[in-house]
Amino acid sequence: MTDQPQSLFSAVDALLAAVDGGGVLPALDERVRLREAAGLTQAAVAQALGVRVASIEAWEAGRAEPKAERLEAYRRLLEGLSRRFPASAAPSGSTEAPPRPDPGAAPPSAPVAPSPVPVAPAAAPAAPSRPAAPGRQPARRTEGKQSAACLHTAPAGGTDPRFANGPLAVVDVEDGQVRAYCTGGLVLDVPAKSLPALVDWTLTEARLGQPKLSGPGKDADPLLVLTQAALERYGMPVTLTDEERLAGRIPEGHKAVKQLARAQWKLTKRGFGPWARIYRPATGSERACVQLCIPSWNALDARHWGHAGQLPPAELARVLGVYASRVMTPRGSTAVTGLELMTALHPPTRASRPDADGKRYSEHNPGSLGQDPVGCAPCEAPDGHPVLKDLPRFHVRGPGEKLFEEAYDWARPMTDGECMLRYLVGIDVNMAFAAGANGLTVGLGEATHVKAPAFDPKLPGSWLVDLSHIDLSRVKVGKEWVELDGSLLPSPFTPKGERPEGPAWYATPTVAYAAELGYEVRPIEAYVRHESGRYLDGWYQRLRDAYLATMADLGVGADLAPADFLAAMDGYKARDPELAIVVSAIKATVKGGLGKLRERPRGEGWKPGQPWRALARPTWRPDIRAAVISRTRTNLHRKIVKHAAFTGQYPVAILSDCVVYAANGPSPLDFLPYREGKPLPGGFKLGINPGLVKHEGTQTVLWGEEVRERFNAPELNLARYIKDGTVTNADNGE
């Protein structure tokens, strides 16, 4: 007992030392208050500190604490915010931080953002961020009917009073009254009698929008979705004519466009189309811009948004609101939004440090692509690019002239042993291209041309190298050489799985994988980018968290046992068809955003050799797209090789991220080598996380043979039809 006082004193001294050394962080509620007072999202803080959003959630919920350099950086952030937003500056009558999500809402191991909770319409803040129009009364706020379909979404504007009513509203006309259906079941009366008045009301009274996703970024502009009834009310066509659909806009002489011009509103160069942007030039830091989404003009492509365009206003507001809160406010198609998300997370510029007079200036934001477009290397340029204008008109570039990194489209005839099995089972890699972007170092600046370089797997670029000597019958798996049946494996170096015949251009991940297989690589020349970074990490994390959170809402958790996961995936879309739309849109955002990095000409009178509009964007980067596809394809091949080395099983067909195997049973568990619930290390693993696999579909071996015989195509890619077994003549060009 005599030692107890001394031990207590030692503990107290240690605690005081931790305080003095900065090892003690503010209370949990204070951490949240400071972040929200600054208008920072958890994603923005996570990106700055180089951690996942789930880590920030855990730090704010008390489930974990930062360690080492993360602790110092997080403490510095909180100290800086506390100086800018002292506790005494909190609004009168509110001394506590806003309520936080229940820490137990999601298991700590699941990297899933907490699901929004039902929030009743809040009282209007004392003053809107933009002054109300002279002589106009604020819009009357009414509670909408909250059906079960509306209770899952809270206003995504969070506690920011400027965006108290969420990021968007669906404008409809009911019983002669124009109403705006917001997220969370909130309905606003809209007094605007004309389109210019609607834009003005949105900016002065509606309190719509979304906080920026990163410190140097910009807040998202409010989005209005106009139903057919709203289009009629404001004098616009319900549908577009064939000519207007081809042009992507209504004519400049349309009365709605003239109304906007008379009210001194402007349209972007794309005009008044399905995703119109209406703005006035910014004055200082104040933006005046509203975006319109018009579903009946095909703004919500059914391939990605399913039946969203036919949903009632409240349900449509819920679908788009969930997407906005977890990804970002839509800026156009899912492809456009995917590209805009990259920029929102890595803005090209930031404010400089104050100079001697206290003034700040715009400067390059490190880690971004900057404000100016970067030229591509000749091998990276698609056909028709201005850098290729001196080539003969009908010249066809081969592998030695053109970087051709694409997803797999490969199949082979089945062996006699495989024909004796009963089933063909397809497995699909979740968010495969997002997983390929995770942790990938990509070039940020101009390319440098080098001759006979030594290959550096950490240097992003395009390499001309001969990989035809690599024999898949004997490769390294880890540190050991293994013997395989190379005739049953696709080449990892070509999309069609054919063995290269000579020198060809490859992105860095492809050449790095060739070296990983145990073979020497000697590049002939290369275009490398010394300025590089993990530009897509934040983009991946944002989309991953959105995907996992939405799948969790659909009953598919991130930590399910294999059999439970397969059961949870069975019919998951039917549990909530509206959230299933969000899942589809998130996936399309990944693929579309990467596709936009090499956007081709879209009409506009373009001719080969001339520049097209997309080339003026800093985000036109075919080299980044190629690197992601390269890494995705080699990631898949690595799993296939490890599976073959361990089980002796080889794929029958591969299409992009879907792989088909012959098996004795209809389930992936009938051929995936699980032992006591644990998968083959480095092989395929069932689960919902990006990079893991799910069941794509099962058909019989007899079905596969019958289809190939019907079309007289022994190598018909069965992965294309494995999901439901439907094959038409049109699918095969007949």
Dump pLDDT digits (tens) for 332-347. 999 999 999 999 999 9
Q: How far is CA 46 from CA 37, 42, 55, 83, 102, in A?
A: 17, 6, 8, 21, 20
pTM for this model (two decimals) = 0.80
Position 11 confidence tier, pLDDT thresholds 50, 70, 90: low
> What is the pLDDT, as a whole number, of residue 151?
30
Helix (H) or strand (E) holding 79: helix 68-84
- CA separation for the pair 52, 40 (Å, rounded): 15
For the chain, the structural domain boundaries read 18-105, 141-332, 378-406+438-533
Q: Which range, of 98-102, 259-263, 688-692, averages the lowest pLDDT?
A: 98-102
- CA separation for the pair 498, 275 (Å, rounded): 42
Q: What is the mean pLDDT of residues 501-526?
A: 97
- CA separation for the pair 641, 302 (Å, rounded): 37
Percent share of the chain, pLDDT over 90: 70
Judged against a pLDDT cut of 80, whether residue 152 lies above it is answered with no
Position 633 confidence tier, pLDDT thresholds 50, 70, 90: very high
> What is the pLDDT, as a whole number, of residue 8?
60
Amino acid at 106: A
Single out the residue of 351, 312, 621 nearest to residue 461, CA to CA.
621
CB 566 within 8 A of CB 613: no
CB 427 within 8 A of CB 694: yes
Position 284 confidence tier, pLDDT thresholds 50, 70, 90: low
Position 1 confidence tier, pLDDT thresholds 50, 70, 90: very low
Q: Which range, of 51-60, 235-244, 418-427, averages the lowest pLDDT?
A: 51-60
Q: What is the mean pLDDT of residues 31-45?
A: 84
Q: What is the mean pLDDT of residues 608-628?
A: 96
The residues that bridge with 188 in the sheet, in sequence order, are 141, 180
- CA separation for the pair 66, 80 (Å, rounded): 17
- CA separation for the pair 98, 474 (Å, rounded): 60
3-state secondary structure of 31: helix
> What is the pLDDT, as a whole number, of residue 124?
33
Single out the residue of 516, 179, 54, 545 nearest to residue 341, CA to CA.
545
- CA separation for the pair 77, 61 (Å, rounded): 17
Position 260 confidence tier, pLDDT thresholds 50, 70, 90: very high
Q: Among positive and negative, which fits the CA dihedral 576, 580, 583, 585?
A: negative
> What is the pLDDT, as a whole number, of residue 286?
73
Q: What is the mean pLDDT of residues 86-96?
A: 48
Which tens digits make up the pLDDT trace of 13-25?
655 665 555 567 8
Long-range pairs for 7-10: beta carbons < 8 A, 24 or more residues apart: none
Amino acid at 210: Q
Strands (E) in 129-268, as ranges, are 141-143, 168-174, 177-182, 186-189, 223-226, 266-267
Helix (H) or strand (E) holding 289: strand 286-293
> What is the pLDDT, as a whole number, of residue 115?
36
Neighbouring C-beta atoms of residue 528, cutoff 10 Å: 21
Long-range pairs for 305-310: beta carbons < 8 A, 24 or more residues apart: 305/334, 305/581, 305/584, 305/585, 306/577, 306/580, 306/581, 306/584, 307/577, 307/581, 308/581
Which tens digits make up the pLDDT trace of 540-570?
999 999 999 999 999 999 999 999 999 999 9
Neighbouring C-beta atoms of residue 48, cutoff 10 Å: 16
Q: Would strands 525-528 and 461-466 be described as parallel, antiparallel, or unpaired?
A: antiparallel
Judged against a pLDDT cut of 50, whether residue 222 lies above it is answered with yes
Position 359 confidence tier, pLDDT thresholds 50, 70, 90: confident
Answer with the residue of higher pLDDT: 91 or 485.
Answer: 485
Q: What is the mean pLDDT of residues 142-155?
A: 35
| Domain covering 18-105 in this structure, CATH number | 1.10.260
Tokens standing for 263?
């009210």
Amino acid at 110: A
- CA separation for the pair 303, 298 (Å, rounded): 11
Judged against a pLDDT cut of 50, whether residue 288 lies above it is answered with yes
Expressed in percent and rounded to 5, the helix, strand and coil fractions of the chain are: 35, 15, 50
Q: How far is CA 564 from CA 72, 570, 574, 614, 693, in A?
A: 41, 10, 17, 45, 14
- Write down the H helix ranges in 396-536: 416-419, 432-437, 508-516
Half-sphere exposure of 354 (CA within 13 A, CB side): 4
Which tens digits make up the pLDDT trace of 681-724?
999 999 999 999 999 999 999 999 999 999 899 889 999 999 99
> What is the pLDDT, as a whole number, of residue 169?
98
- CA separation for the pair 53, 645 (Å, rounded): 37
Tokens standing for 368?
């971004």
Judged against a pLDDT cut of 70, whether residue 414 lies above it is answered with yes
Q: What is the mean pLDDT of residues 508-536?
A: 97
> What is the pLDDT, as a whole number, of residue 539?
97
Which tens digits make up the pLDDT trace of 367-407?
999 999 999 999 999 999 999 999 998 899 999 999 999 99
> What is the pLDDT, as a whole number, of residue 15?
54
- CA separation for the pair 484, 473 (Å, rounded): 5
Tokens standing for 393?
């008109």
- CA separation for the pair 559, 330 (Å, rounded): 30
- CA separation for the pair 622, 387 (Å, rounded): 14
CB 548 within 8 A of CB 688: yes
Judged against a pLDDT cut of 60, whether residue 731 lies above it is answered with no
The residues that bridge with 655 in the sheet, in sequence order, are 409, 658
Rg, C-alpha atoms of the chain: 28
CB 60 within 8 A of CB 31: yes
CB 297 within 8 A of CB 249: no
Backbone angles phi, psi at 678, to 5 degrees: -105, 135
> What is the pLDDT, as a whole number, of residue 83?
82
- CA separation for the pair 626, 403 (Å, rounded): 8
For the chain, the average pLDDT equals: 87
Position 82 confidence tier, pLDDT thresholds 50, 70, 90: confident
Contacts of 184 (CB under 8 A, 6+ apart): 118, 119, 120, 121, 150, 153, 154, 155, 166, 321
Q: What is the mean pLDDT of residues 235-256?
A: 94
